[in-house]
Amino acid sequence: MFNTTTWNRRRYSLYAPIYDAVARRVFRRARRIALSQVHWQRGMRVLVVGAGTGLDLYFLPRDVELHASDLAPAMVRRLARRAESLGMDVQTTVMDAECLEYPDDHFDVVVMHLILAVMPDPQRGLDEARRVMKPDGQLCVLDKFQADDRPSGMGRQALNALTSAIATDITRQARPLLEAGGFVIEQDTPVMMGSLVRALLARPA
């Protein structure tokens, strides 16, 4: 089984030098749409989980308290440099999304972009997001998802053995994951490749 925390830390440390070249332009519009669905207010405390090199920073408001974490130290170093270059005050931390080191009911917004399809146990990650989120908080999700109304076929499952090792799981379903995590979906917007990549806004049930 390739999809483990240790493997993800190693591969994203290797990907860090080239990550921007691959992901910045491809997901730029999708990130902007996803973050525009959040109901922003001045002074909010915001957590970006799996923040990578900080490509979401361009679309986040400047008048919030911003925290950003990632599993790979190489990614966090690039994230910190990007925040500095943009003149943004961001608290950056190396942290496992499945074991967040924050208190309960702490954040107004939790952002999870391109991480639910990568992490070994996305349900545990969503449980942690809900734990650190205030009861009236918002969850902003952007990721690649299998259609909610049908299971993956044998061909897709076979292909997933390869894609999940090098990049991403292509068999996960957004609505079952979020609802099992105790969230109610308020917005669900297809943003890329038909409905493969979706931007979702959810709140604790």
Q: In whole angstroms, give the CA distance from residue 200 to residue 175.
A: 9
Mean pLDDT confidence for 12-35: 86
54-87: burial string, b at 16+ Cβ within 10 Å, e else: bbbbeebeeebebbbbbbbebbbebbbebbeeee
What is the tally of structural domains in the chain? 1
* % of the chain beyond a pLDDT of 90: 71
CATH number where 75 lies: 3.40.50.150
Per residue in 113-167, pLDDT (tens digit) is 999 988 889 999 999 999 999 999 999 999 999 888 777 666 666 655 556 655 6
Q: What is the pLDDT of residue 1?
A: 47
Residue type for position 2: F
Mean pLDDT confidence for 29-49: 98
Mean pLDDT confidence for 39-47: 98
- Range(s) of the domain holding residue 73: 5-204
Asked whether residue 44 carries a pLDDT value surpassing 70, the answer given is yes
Per residue in 178-187, pLDDT (tens digit) is 999 999 999 9
Per residue in 47-69, pLDDT (tens digit) is 999 999 999 999 999 999 999 99
The average confidence (pLDDT) of the chain is: 90
Asked whether residue 45 carries a pLDDT value surpassing 50, the answer given is yes
Phi-psi region of 61 (alpha: psi -120 to 50; beta: other; left: phi over 0): beta
Give the single-character DSSP code of 173: B
Q: Which residues pair with 159 in a beta bridge?
A: none
Give the single-character DSSP code of 52: T
Asked whether residue 92 carries a pLDDT value surpassing 60, the answer given is yes
